[in-house]
Amino acid sequence: MAKILTIGFNLQQATTLSAPFSDFTKENETNRYIQTLLNYGITQGTSATTFSPYTDVRRGQMALFLYRILQKTEDDFYIISVE
User: What per-residue confidence (pLDDT) applies to 29?
Assistant: 78
pLDDT confidence of 70, banded at 50, 70, 90?
confident
Question: Tens digits of per-residue pLDDT, 4-59?
Answer: 999 998 899 999 888 888 887 777 778 899 999 999 999 988 998 988 888 899 99
Q: How many CB atoms lie within 10 A of CB 34?
A: 23
pLDDT at 78 over 80: no
Q: How far is 5 from 3, CA to CA, in rounded Å?
A: 6
pLDDT at 63 over 70: yes
User: What per-residue confidence (pLDDT) applies to 45?
Assistant: 87
Q: How far is 45 from 67, CA to CA, in rounded Å?
A: 16
User: What per-residue confidence (pLDDT) applies to 39?
Assistant: 93
